[in-house]
Amino acid sequence: MEVHVYYEGDDDPDKCTARRLERFDRATLHRSMRGVPYGVVLNPHAERALSPADAEAGLETLVALDCSWESAEAASFRMNGVHRALPFLVAANPVNYGRPFRLTTAEALAAALRIFGDRAGAEDLLEPFRWGETFLTLNEEPLRRYADCADSSEVVAVQADYLADE
Protein backbone atom coordinates (compact mmCIF):
# COMPACT_ATOMS: atom_id res chain seq x y z
CA MET A 1 0.00 0.00 0.00
CA GLU A 2 1.30 3.45 -0.89
CA VAL A 3 1.68 5.84 2.06
CA HIS A 4 1.13 9.57 1.55
CA VAL A 5 0.98 12.52 3.93
CA TYR A 6 -0.50 15.96 3.45
CA TYR A 7 2.01 18.12 5.29
CA GLU A 8 1.11 21.60 6.55
CA GLY A 9 4.45 22.24 8.26
CA ASP A 10 2.98 23.88 11.34
CA ASP A 11 4.81 21.76 13.89
CA ASP A 12 8.36 21.44 15.20
CA PRO A 13 10.39 20.07 12.26
CA ASP A 14 12.74 18.26 14.66
CA LYS A 15 9.84 16.24 16.13
CA CYS A 16 7.85 15.77 12.92
CA THR A 17 7.37 12.08 12.21
CA ALA A 18 6.06 12.73 8.69
CA ARG A 19 9.29 14.44 7.68
CA ARG A 20 11.30 11.54 9.10
CA LEU A 21 9.11 9.08 7.16
CA GLU A 22 9.90 11.00 3.98
CA ARG A 23 13.62 11.13 4.79
CA PHE A 24 13.68 7.32 5.20
CA ASP A 25 11.58 6.76 2.03
CA ARG A 26 8.63 5.39 4.01
CA ALA A 27 6.08 8.00 2.82
CA THR A 28 5.54 10.68 0.20
CA LEU A 29 4.86 14.17 1.55
CA HIS A 30 2.60 16.63 -0.24
CA ARG A 31 2.58 20.31 0.57
CA SER A 32 -0.49 20.93 -1.60
CA MET A 33 -3.79 19.05 -1.32
CA ARG A 34 -3.99 18.93 -5.10
CA GLY A 35 -1.07 16.51 -5.14
CA VAL A 36 -2.52 14.07 -2.61
CA PRO A 37 -3.85 10.94 -4.33
CA TYR A 38 -7.32 9.52 -3.67
CA GLY A 39 -7.29 6.86 -0.98
CA VAL A 40 -8.19 6.00 2.60
CA VAL A 41 -7.80 9.22 4.59
CA LEU A 42 -7.03 8.87 8.29
CA ASN A 43 -9.33 11.47 9.78
CA PRO A 44 -9.86 11.57 13.57
CA HIS A 45 -13.19 13.32 12.95
CA ALA A 46 -14.58 10.77 10.46
CA GLU A 47 -17.88 9.08 11.26
CA ARG A 48 -16.74 5.54 10.38
CA ALA A 49 -13.96 3.53 11.97
CA LEU A 50 -11.12 2.14 9.90
CA SER A 51 -11.45 -1.60 9.29
CA PRO A 52 -9.86 -4.34 7.18
CA ALA A 53 -12.77 -3.91 4.75
CA ASP A 54 -11.30 -0.54 3.74
CA ALA A 55 -8.14 -2.27 2.50
CA GLU A 56 -10.23 -4.79 0.61
CA ALA A 57 -12.18 -2.04 -1.18
CA GLY A 58 -9.48 -1.78 -3.84
CA LEU A 59 -7.95 1.46 -2.59
CA GLU A 60 -4.18 1.15 -2.66
CA THR A 61 -3.32 4.47 -1.02
CA LEU A 62 -3.25 5.41 2.65
CA VAL A 63 -3.24 9.14 3.43
CA ALA A 64 -2.55 10.93 6.71
CA LEU A 65 -2.76 14.59 7.59
CA ASP A 66 0.21 16.12 9.39
CA CYS A 67 -0.82 19.39 11.02
CA SER A 68 -1.58 20.85 14.44
CA TRP A 69 -4.46 19.31 16.39
CA GLU A 70 -6.23 22.69 16.27
CA SER A 71 -6.44 22.76 12.47
CA ALA A 72 -6.93 19.01 11.87
CA GLU A 73 -10.73 19.00 11.59
CA ALA A 74 -10.98 21.79 9.03
CA ALA A 75 -8.08 20.49 6.95
CA SER A 76 -9.10 16.83 6.97
CA PHE A 77 -12.51 17.37 5.44
CA ARG A 78 -11.01 19.26 2.49
CA MET A 79 -9.12 16.10 1.50
CA ASN A 80 -10.50 13.90 -1.24
CA GLY A 81 -10.89 10.24 -0.32
CA VAL A 82 -12.63 7.72 1.91
CA HIS A 83 -12.42 9.14 5.43
CA ARG A 84 -11.93 6.78 8.36
CA ALA A 85 -11.11 7.26 12.04
CA LEU A 86 -8.71 5.04 13.91
CA PRO A 87 -10.19 3.19 16.87
CA PHE A 88 -8.85 3.49 20.41
CA LEU A 89 -5.05 3.22 20.57
CA VAL A 90 -2.45 4.60 22.97
CA ALA A 91 0.51 6.73 21.89
CA ALA A 92 4.07 5.55 22.49
CA ASN A 93 5.85 8.65 21.22
CA PRO A 94 7.79 10.65 23.84
CA VAL A 95 5.50 13.70 23.68
CA ASN A 96 2.18 11.89 24.24
CA TYR A 97 3.23 8.55 25.74
CA GLY A 98 0.27 6.68 27.20
CA ARG A 99 -2.32 9.17 25.99
CA PRO A 100 -5.19 7.70 23.99
CA PHE A 101 -5.90 9.03 20.50
CA ARG A 102 -2.83 11.35 20.52
CA LEU A 103 -0.86 9.47 17.91
CA THR A 104 1.85 10.88 15.70
CA THR A 105 1.44 10.66 11.95
CA ALA A 106 3.81 7.68 11.89
CA GLU A 107 1.88 5.87 14.64
CA ALA A 108 -1.43 6.47 12.86
CA LEU A 109 -0.14 5.18 9.54
CA ALA A 110 1.46 2.13 11.16
CA ALA A 111 -1.76 1.37 13.05
CA ALA A 112 -3.73 1.52 9.81
CA LEU A 113 -1.30 -0.84 8.09
CA ARG A 114 -1.53 -3.25 11.03
CA ILE A 115 -5.35 -3.13 10.98
CA PHE A 116 -5.15 -3.86 7.25
CA GLY A 117 -3.17 -7.00 8.11
CA ASP A 118 0.24 -5.70 7.05
CA ARG A 119 2.25 -6.28 10.22
CA ALA A 120 5.59 -6.20 8.36
CA GLY A 121 4.65 -2.91 6.70
CA ALA A 122 3.76 -1.39 10.07
CA GLU A 123 7.06 -2.54 11.58
CA ASP A 124 9.02 -1.21 8.60
CA LEU A 125 7.24 2.15 8.75
CA LEU A 126 8.13 2.58 12.44
CA GLU A 127 11.71 1.32 12.12
CA PRO A 128 13.24 4.86 12.02
CA PHE A 129 11.80 5.66 15.48
CA ARG A 130 13.26 4.54 18.84
CA TRP A 131 9.76 4.12 20.21
CA GLY A 132 8.28 2.47 17.09
CA GLU A 133 8.42 -1.09 18.39
CA THR A 134 6.99 0.12 21.70
CA PHE A 135 3.92 1.48 19.90
CA LEU A 136 3.17 -1.89 18.31
CA THR A 137 3.84 -3.76 21.58
CA LEU A 138 1.74 -1.35 23.68
CA ASN A 139 -1.21 -1.72 21.29
CA GLU A 140 -0.66 -5.35 20.29
CA GLU A 141 -3.94 -6.74 21.60
CA PRO A 142 -6.30 -4.06 20.26
CA LEU A 143 -4.52 -3.94 16.89
CA ARG A 144 -4.80 -7.72 16.56
CA ARG A 145 -8.48 -7.63 17.49
CA TYR A 146 -9.24 -4.76 15.10
CA ALA A 147 -7.41 -6.61 12.29
CA ASP A 148 -9.66 -9.63 12.87
CA CYS A 149 -12.83 -7.60 12.26
CA ALA A 150 -14.84 -7.74 9.06
CA ASP A 151 -16.07 -4.15 8.97
CA SER A 152 -16.36 -0.82 10.76
CA SER A 153 -19.24 -1.85 13.01
CA GLU A 154 -17.23 -4.81 14.31
CA VAL A 155 -14.25 -2.52 14.99
CA VAL A 156 -16.51 -0.20 17.01
CA ALA A 157 -17.86 -3.19 18.97
CA VAL A 158 -14.32 -4.46 19.69
CA GLN A 159 -13.31 -0.94 20.75
CA ALA A 160 -16.26 -0.77 23.17
CA ASP A 161 -15.40 -4.21 24.53
CA TYR A 162 -11.73 -3.28 24.88
CA LEU A 163 -12.56 0.00 26.68
CA ALA A 164 -14.95 -1.82 29.03
CA ASP A 165 -12.09 -4.16 30.02
CA GLU A 166 -9.70 -1.28 30.81
pLDDT tens per residue across span 85-113? 999 999 999 989 999 989 999 999 999 99
For position 77, what pLDDT does the model report? 63
Q: What is the pLDDT of residues 71-83, one digit of tens each?
A: 666 666 678 899 9
Q: How far is it, in rounded angstroms, from Cα 51 to Cα 155? A: 6
CA distance 156 to 105: 22
Using only C-alpha atoms, the chain has a radius of gyration, in whole angstroms, of 14
CB 17 within 8 A of CB 93: yes
What does the pLDDT read at residue 108?
96
pLDDT of residue 59: 79
Q: Which pLDDT score, from 0 to 100, does residue 14 have?
A: 76
Question: 129 pLDDT exceeds 80?
Answer: yes
How far is the C-alpha of 102 from the C-alpha of 78, rounded, in Å? 21
Q: Are 128 and 57 in contact (CB under 8 A)?
A: no
Q: Check pLDDT > 60 for residue 69.
A: no
H/E segment holding residue 103: none
Cβ neighbourhood burial of 94 (10 Å; 0-12, 13-18, 19+): exposed
Type and span of the H or E element at 111: helix 105-115
